Amino acid sequence: MNKIRTAVIGAGYIGVVHIEQLLRLPGVEIAGIVDKNTSLAKSVAARYGIPKVYGDAGEALLDDSVDVIHNCTPNNLHFEINRHAIESGKEVFSEKPLALTVAESGELVRLAEKHNTVTGIGFCYRYYPVVQEAAARIKRGDIGEVYNIMGNYFQDWLLYDTDYSWRLDSRMAGASNILSDLGSHWCDLAQFMSGLEIEEVIADTRTTLPIRKRPKTGETLTFGKAGNIEFEDVPITLDEYGSMLIKFKGGARGTFTTSQLAAGRKCNIDIQIYGSRGSIAWNHERPAELWIGRRDEANQTFFESPLLQTEETRKYAKLPSGHPMGYMDATLNLFSDFYAAVYAKREGLTITNSSPDFAAGHAEMRVLEAAIKSRDTGAWIKVRHSG
Amino acid sequence: MNKIRTAVIGAGYIGVVHIEQLLRLPGVEIAGIVDKNTSLAKSVAARYGIPKVYGDAGEALLDDSVDVIHNCTPNNLHFEINRHAIESGKEVFSEKPLALTVAESGELVRLAEKHNTVTGIGFCYRYYPVVQEAAARIKRGDIGEVYNIMGNYFQDWLLYDTDYSWRLDSRMAGASNILSDLGSHWCDLAQFMSGLEIEEVIADTRTTLPIRKRPKTGETLTFGKAGNIEFEDVPITLDEYGSMLIKFKGGARGTFTTSQLAAGRKCNIDIQIYGSRGSIAWNHERPAELWIGRRDEANQTFFESPLLQTEETRKYAKLPSGHPMGYMDATLNLFSDFYAAVYAKREGLTITNSSPDFAAGHAEMRVLEAAIKSRDTGAWIKVRHSG
Amino acid sequence: MNKIRTAVIGAGYIGVVHIEQLLRLPGVEIAGIVDKNTSLAKSVAARYGIPKVYGDAGEALLDDSVDVIHNCTPNNLHFEINRHAIESGKEVFSEKPLALTVAESGELVRLAEKHNTVTGIGFCYRYYPVVQEAAARIKRGDIGEVYNIMGNYFQDWLLYDTDYSWRLDSRMAGASNILSDLGSHWCDLAQFMSGLEIEEVIADTRTTLPIRKRPKTGETLTFGKAGNIEFEDVPITLDEYGSMLIKFKGGARGTFTTSQLAAGRKCNIDIQIYGSRGSIAWNHERPAELWIGRRDEANQTFFESPLLQTEETRKYAKLPSGHPMGYMDATLNLFSDFYAAVYAKREGLTITNSSPDFAAGHAEMRVLEAAIKSRDTGAWIKVRHSG
Amino acid sequence: MNKIRTAVIGAGYIGVVHIEQLLRLPGVEIAGIVDKNTSLAKSVAARYGIPKVYGDAGEALLDDSVDVIHNCTPNNLHFEINRHAIESGKEVFSEKPLALTVAESGELVRLAEKHNTVTGIGFCYRYYPVVQEAAARIKRGDIGEVYNIMGNYFQDWLLYDTDYSWRLDSRMAGASNILSDLGSHWCDLAQFMSGLEIEEVIADTRTTLPIRKRPKTGETLTFGKAGNIEFEDVPITLDEYGSMLIKFKGGARGTFTTSQLAAGRKCNIDIQIYGSRGSIAWNHERPAELWIGRRDEANQTFFESPLLQTEETRKYAKLPSGHPMGYMDATLNLFSDFYAAVYAKREGLTITNSSPDFAAGHAEMRVLEAAIKSRDTGAWIKVRHSG
């Protein structure tokens, strides 16, 4: 069987995460790589034995031997590359957010439908085995009607004013840093796990540190450590703190808090879902565990397990019970589902894309739009469901 | 030395908690007890060797041999008894809320000042040794400037529609059940631990179960289990779910979620305080521990300890490190501080009341007022700081 | 009803713990107190309103108005005072160990039987509500046949050579410090919770620090902090580390480790009981929780609760679910059971002493004897079941 | 650069784990695979795109294009294949135990030296980033002199008598199941993390279930679930429970407990190392965390991190802080170190094999030998350090 051929656009942190997981898919080969930083692209290609370094993204899109594009560029490039990739007849896996505006993400959804594109988006946290398990259990009614959802997404890599990132620059990151970067992940989790749509929100954000020091030469890498370098003061307009009250369709309520200034929380995603018959909670610091709350019995801690999970989620728990999976394995699960749809399409089979697609990415853009409007007006704002 | 003589008004769950801790104060004796349910009062008196059962609260207030009143009645009786107790020249320890309205609680503060009354209020959670420790550390600058506070107060004893309580009846509980009962505790903790005042809020509440089944005879006790009894449907107007976005004076932000429908959370109070140099978090399920978050070093778990706590809080950690204290011990700490002020007054010494007083209770009433107004209008509301 | 009158022998740390819990028993009054350090005795008496300070233990034993003796002296005085108290017709509650040798503890059991004495011993850890719950569940078969028990008792207050205690002096503490002080607690827990008798052991002990520095004047208090004082070198012969392999009657196996040099473990008692159908574990750092292990389902965390515990143990869970109890409350539970037997005897009722009695204390002495012999011979030694 | 060519012997559970991680090493290609179950071998080859299925192990060893052999067969085949592989001039990575006897494992060490073979053994748990970190910290003196080590390795997949495995058959597994399978991992961890050699032991083992039911056709897979099949009774002689008291060189003591009947513990490895200045503990259920115990300060929880780990271990933490790694990533770390040595040899560079080699495997065989002898004699046995 011929392998699926994939090109990766962007050789930064997230691009390398993609490459490392693509290596684990026996049916996929990495055809080539692109980065505006050519020497970075070359060194990544050499390290991973990738045969081709394209001159630019356009060249990759024109390469007829390429089946799939992985879009691992900064936010402001997502839309254009996604659009061209669809129009070039490639299948597309994009990092989130899909685009900078709802208009753009909506257009991508429409285009992908028109071109029958298999699309995927990097909502990787869905793919821890017990997150899938939680969603399956809630769907089958284990906790009854969902009453409320509470959670947070906390990091601390922007705590000091010497921590600079392109994510704080509105030209590259859009109207909000934190709600777009972390908020989109959490809202996707909340909607995916509960099966409920976010209907109305009121949000608050804060730019806690309005001046930051940016390295004069080069750029601070996400999660990287600044060395002994010269800085210049940069006024910051984008937020590193955000919060939301949420109303879900059907009446359930939610609260969400997010910050990149939360000392000691490296990548702490917490989601607690309370229902009429029980509760389920998950925290990314102990990603193999679900907490299951009960009123009249002892609470439970459920560990990921190919034996104890429900039929439909057990394929995501690939190791014997007690052998914990990690972030990379979750990403591999995500890619496996996406590529299953790509294979199916190639083989002319019915395409079932279980992975989050561009519609899921667009859904988060619409929530983001309402959040920003509510922040700006101080009032509850309904999420638009058309457009 | 003559003992301080105390009368307890209300022989229900919380009245008994008070009595049991008063027994542990060697300088205090329980002079008498009152309850509208006289047989309950009598049986409690017999069980604890309390010499007198008063006919009604007024009788206790007229008893010249009584120095201190503990007001353990339902919310709607708090104001009247507190007022009479102050005017009768007693020192007064009241359960929260102080009253049903800000006007009433404000009047109590003014009256107590006028009569030079030593006042106390049942914000017991402050008195776990490590909660005091957290407040002391934040005050001395351990975590720098506070950036945000997140937390919740979850219980599950109202999960089913067969769980009925007077707390859901607005005639007895006021304009909100959950924000008054649980919200006041959490907001007090947030303000006490951070040293910051709540300035503005937007709140949401929900009456998730609008019809409940009330036992036809008698009453469901708080935390009690309903037996095999007949019920009648009762329409419910008060909430059992609430949430708030908060702005603190100086710019810090907050989020708070509370529910009495949170299956598996029996009395889960969580408070996480993030600052410019570090973080501190506490959870009532493991009340002897503080989590201390740090950006560039390992996080810490600090256990209550008479050796390791700071000078001013170590008196609250009364057992050797590793021997955990509990809820009753926290309540005893609260009473110890209150009675230290009562003693000081009797001995003509300078009165330093470290315990939360009626002013603290009034402060929570003002937050509650703003929360309810914001819920009703869907807009941010500033907390009134006069009146 | 006349109160039971109790005299406390020993006003050190553990004596004060006893006094503070006796205050909480409405049917008991503390008649008097003794300590060889008279000024300590006097100050404790003043603090707690205790009417009498006896000149010595003998005087207390001769006081006809005294019903019960609490023996809170160092180990080497336990036997004599317990014996005299029994012979004086008092009921006796003794701190552990009962005596320094099996011969002595055996004699106490025989004497108590002869005099029909109500006896108690300070195995307080049994009395956390969920420890009782674990014992009840294992008894009714929840985890099937017990296969093995693993655990430890770790403290760190003797970590440095500047930490000196009388417990390291064989004249006061007997043939082993750690096995007697901490080992006896753990072995009692293991036998109580599992319902199994220890039949054979092989033990190892170590005196890790053979020279310690003792304060020249006065004495280091248990768990106390040494100030800026002069020291003298003292050779140490007693152990601060011990371990055991265990065979229980019926075939179950055990392992136990104990140390007072375990940095960061203040009073960490861990016990894990594995059976043919499930497991139960408890750790003193989170004393309100049981871990319940299951093969084919999620594990559970059971919290102490007056609603969810089994019928016979729920009386020990005195607070609403979610309001944690502490070490003092456990001690109060222990005293409550002991005094229930004292009352019953005085009222001429059938005496059911649910609390651990001198027979339980003697049982631990016999295990200790075998452990020391096995350590000295390097061989498995059977526990004597007569004598 | 030509890739290293590897053949995998054994296509069962552990063989597939090896294959999946080899895919992630860009410099390695899987040349072929063997299994006595040819149809299994073929299906695995197809799934992972492996070009060749050898007829038997000998054929793979004769294939000159193969550089490295991964020995993933049952215990009883380890010795022969390892020996032939060395003699055929291959580099060898073997699953543990190296062989069934000390004589055999000693011979392998001598042969590997003679042939200058790069060897590796599957002690994968060493390769969680924080396990490496613990070893590095202890080596540099963070916790001072090691006083004692306590731990366990618990699983539950043999709990019921319907759980059958070849590991319980002495012809395939040697003189002990549990000490060889789980004990070898834990003893390796203890020696690796502490830097101390095990000098003397006394062990106990138990065959708790002397009769088990074996499926009449086929075989139960490790960690697999038995379907609705016919069974036959099989007498079992090998243990599923074991324990040891340990004396390390220099005086430190140890205790170790292991069981495959521990309900609820899927793969629970716990190791606690206590020293003169602090403590370090690790548990496989939360593999990204170290617990760091301290006497006079708060304890710490250290998370794996490429920023916060020490210089020499940070290469094992391949993801940004807060993105947890899993069991597969640990295995990849192990293979990376092994293959770094293979590359170095091929390039004629100095070979530094940081991964555990056959000498490490032999060291565990010698501990195992002493453990079994001590179990059989009931006496302390010294570990042989020659032969």
Instruction: Please report the ipTM that was assigned to this predicted complex.
Output: 0.95
Averaged pLDDT, groups of 10, chain C, 387 residues long: 92 96 96 96 96 96 97 95 98 96 97 98 98 98 98 98 93 90 97 98 98 79 60 94 98 98 98 98 97 98 97 95 97 98 95 95 97 97 85
Q: What pLDDT sits at residue A308?
A: 96
The conformation of residue A316, written as its DSSP 8-state character, comes to G
Q: What is the mean pLDDT of residues A105-129?
A: 98
Distance of CA B37 to the CA centre of its chain: 24
Please list, in sequence order, all residues whose beta carbon lies within 8 angstroms of the beta carbon of residue B240, skipping any fewer than 6 positions away.
Answer: B158, B168, B177, B178, B206, B207, B208, B209, B259, B260, B261
Judged by a CB distance cut-off of 8 A, whether residue D13 touches chain A is yes
How far apart CA C195 and CA C250 sit, in angstroms, is: 11
Query: Please, which pLDDT band fits residue A325 given cuts at 50, 70 and 90?
Result: very high
Tokens of C242: 């011990």
Tell me how close the Cα of A307 comes to any Cα of chain C, in angstroms. Answer: 8
- Among chain A residues, the shortest Cα distance to C298 is held by A302
Taking only the tens place, the pLDDT of each residue in D291-337 is: 999 999 999 999 999 999 999 999 999 999 999 999 999 999 999 99
- Among chain D residues, the shortest Cα distance to A285 is held by D322
Question: How far is residue D351 from each of residues D7, D92, D221, measured CA to CA in Å?
Answer: 22, 15, 38
Judged by a CB distance cut-off of 8 A, whether residue B147 touches chain C is no
Q: What pLDDT sits at residue B215?
A: 87
Determine which of D223, D225, D332 to mutate to test the interface with A (most A C-beta atoms within 10 Å). Answer: D223
Q: What pLDDT sits at residue B337?
A: 98
Neighbours of chain D (3+ CB pairs under 8 A): A, B, C
Place of tokens 């590793």: B322
Full-model pTM: 0.96
Q: What pLDDT sits at residue A282?
A: 98
Neighbours of chain B (3+ CB pairs under 8 A): A, C, D
Give the type of residue at A349.
L
* Kind of pairing between the strands at B231-235 and B211-215: antiparallel
Q: Is the pLDDT of residue D225 over 90?
A: no
Average pLDDT along chain A: 95
Beta strands in chain B, from DSSP E residues, in sequence order = 4-9, 28-34, 52-53, 68-71, 91-94, 119-121, 146-154, 198-206, 211-215, 231-235, 241-248, 253-259, 268-275, 279-283, 289-293, 299-303, 381-382
Parts of chain B with a pLDDT under 50: none
How far apart CA A192 and CA A198 sit, in angstroms, is: 11
Q: What is the mean pLDDT of residues A178-198?
A: 97
Please list, in sequence order, all residues whose beta carbon lies within 8 angstroms of the beta carbon of residue D200, skipping any fewer than 6 positions away.
Answer: D246, D247, D370, D380, D381, D382, D383
Q: What pLDDT sits at residue D218?
A: 57
Tokens of D217: 């056709």
Chain A residues with beta carbon closer than 8 angstroms to that of D155: 322
| Cβ contact B274–A263 (<8 Å) | yes
Judged by a CB distance cut-off of 8 A, whether residue B295 touches chain C is no
Q: What pLDDT sits at residue C264?
A: 98
Q: What pLDDT sits at residue D96?
A: 94
Neighbours of A379 (CB within 10 A): 14
Helices B327-346 and C327-346 sit at what angle, rounded to 10 degrees? Answer: 90
Q: Is the pLDDT of residue D205 over 80?
A: yes
Range in A153-157, B26-30, B42-46, D220-224 with the lowest mean pLDDT? D220-224
Taking only the tens place, the pLDDT of each residue in D340-350 is: 999 999 999 99
Tokens of B82: 């507190």
Question: How far is residue D364 from each of residues B44, C50, D135, D287, measured CA to CA in Å?
Answer: 66, 63, 18, 23
DSSP string spanning A336-376? Answer: HHHHHHHHHHHTT------S--HHHHHHHHHHHHHHHHHHH
Please list, in sequence order, all residues whose beta carbon lies within 8 angstroms of the beta carbon of residue D131, skipping any fewer than 6 positions away.
Answer: D125, D189, D192, D193, D282
Q: What pLDDT sits at residue C174?
A: 86
Give the type of residue at B244.
M
Judged by a CB distance cut-off of 8 A, whether residue C303 touches chain B is yes
Is the four-CA dihedral D313, D319, D320, D324 of positive or negative sign? negative
Cis peptide before A97 (omega within 30 of 0): yes
How far apart CA D37 and CA C375 sit, in angstroms, is: 52
Q: What pLDDT sits at residue B218?
A: 57
Tell me how close the Cα of D137 comes to any Cα of chain B, in angstroms. Answer: 13
Q: Is the pLDDT of residue A300 over 60?
A: yes
| Cβ contact D255–C265 (<8 Å) | no
Taking only the tens place, the pLDDT of each residue in A209-242 is: 999 999 886 555 555 555 567 889 999 999 999 9
How far apart CA B277 and CA B144 sit, in angstroms, is: 5
| Cβ contact D300–B299 (<8 Å) | yes
> Which of 247-276 (B) contact C at CB < 8 A?
265-268
| Cβ contact A278–B263 (<8 Å) | yes
Q: What pLDDT sits at residue C145?
A: 98
